[in-house]
Amino acid sequence: MKPKAAVGAAVTALAVLMLLYALVYVGLTTGSVGGEKSEKIKLSSARVIINMTKGATITREVAVPRDSLIVAAGFLLLLLGPWLWFGDTPVSVKKFVEAKTGRRL
């Protein structure tokens, strides 16, 4: 396995585990992901309101559920993992283009 594909396989495995834990396990055991009782990560100054009348910017704290964050990270990693793993153009598409153009890809 090439290094790129190995990284892709590892990222895919990590993403699947994250989704299985935070979406499936937490979701099925608690009935929701990121519900009221879930643990939150507090981000100070994450909400930004620009007050045009006073010419000032107001910021407020935003609480992001930890499990939802894991789902979001798994979702994004799953976009990248299989692409790195399987990333070449499909053979069927290559063959179609080769047949149409007569050139070898």
Partner 1 sequence: MYPILLLVIILGIYLAAYYLHGRALLERRVVKADPNRPTPAVEKFDGIDYVPANKYVLYGHHFASIAGAGPIVGPAIALAWGWLLPLIWVLFGNIFIGAVHDYLAMIASVRHGGVSIMSISSNVMGRRARYIFLAYVWIALILVLAAFLSVASATFASVPKSATLAVIFMPVSLLFGLMVYKLGIDVRIGTLISLALLAFGIKFAYDVPLSMPYEAWVIVLALYSFIAAALPVWYLLQPRDYLNAYILWIFVGLALVAPLLIPLVKLSGPAIVSFTAKATVIGVPAGTPAAALDIAYFWPMVPLTIACGALSGFHSVVASGTTSKQLSSELDALLVGYGSMLTEGAVSSLAVILPAAIVWDFSAFAQNAGIGAETLDSALKAANIDPTRVKNILSLAATERFYTAYGLVQAAAWSKIFGTERFADLFLGFRLFAAWSLTSFVLTTLDTANRLARFAWVEFFDWTRNVSPSLHGVITNRFVASLFAVALGAVLAYPSIFAEGVGTVRAFSVIWPAFAGTNQLLAALALLTSTLWVYSVLRVRGAVSLLALIPAAFLWITVTLALAIWLIRVAPNLPFLYQLGAGSLVAVSLALDVLLIYLFVRGLLAARASA
Residues at the interface with partner 1 (CB under 8 A): 19, 23, 27-28, 31-35, 46-53, 62-65, 68-69, 71-72, 75-76, 78-80, 82-83, 86-90, 92-93, 96-97, 100-101, 105
Choice between 3 and 99, CB closer to partner 1: 99
Residue 51 — left, alpha, or beta (φ > 0 → left; ψ -120 to 50 → alpha)?
A: beta
Choice between 10 and 48, CB closer to partner 1: 48
Q: How far is CA 73 from CA 14, 23, 38, 95, in A?
A: 10, 11, 17, 36
